[in-house]
Amino acid sequence: MAQKQITRTVAPEGLSDLLSATRWASLALIDDGRLSALAIRFFYDRGRYFVGVRDDDRLAAGTRVSLLIDDGVYHTELRGVRVQGTIGGSSDPPKAESGRAWLEVIPNRVSAWHYGAMRRRER
């Protein structure tokens, strides 16, 4: 298939305002052998992705996850970052709220898009 000329792909760092402002993200995981998903507290710190969990959130280190931080409703507003990765160890990011255990998501792949930044692909 020929490569498309117009792209909505952006660098994740280009959406640092979204990542820094977002407090609720979505997380998909395999829980007890079954696909599951939940809304989860989120914190971003200089290229590192953290999720805040409660006691009843069963997230063991090594769990494969998909973390989605997205924003917007209408066309040019739509933007987001998806992190495919695994749950790392417990870690307390600076400036994150207390009262939750914070786990880092270790990325295998990070993709980002912004429909308001559609442009001709650079050759």
Spatial separation of the C-alpha atoms in residues 41 and 27, rounded to whole Å: 10
Task: Find the part of the chain contacting other proteins (CB under 8 A) among 12-20, 80-88, 90-98.
Answer: 80-88
x/- track of binding to other proteins for residues 7-46 (CB under 8 A):
-x---------------x-xxxxx---xxxxxxxx-----
Q: How far apart are CA 85 and CA 108, in angstroms?
A: 5
Distance CA 101, CA 50 (A): 10
| 36: amino acid identity, one letter | S
- The reply to whether 97 sits near other proteins by the rule CB under 8 A is no
The answer to whether 107 contacts other proteins (rule: CB under 8 A) is: no
| Phi/psi-derived region of residue 46, left when phi > 0, alpha when psi is between -120 and 50, beta in every other case | left
Size of the site for other proteins (CB under 8 A): 39
Q: Which two tokens stand for residue 113?
A: 């898009």
Out of 15, 59, 65, 87, the only residue in the binding site for other proteins (CB under 8 A) is 65
Q: Please, which residue, 93 or 117, has the CB nearer to other proteins?
A: 117
Q: Comparing C-alpha atoms, which of 97, 48, 94, 42 is closest to residue 71? A: 42
Return residues touching other proteins (CB under 8 A): 1, 4-6, 8, 24, 26-30, 34-41, 54, 64-68, 70, 73-78, 80, 82, 84, 116, 118-120
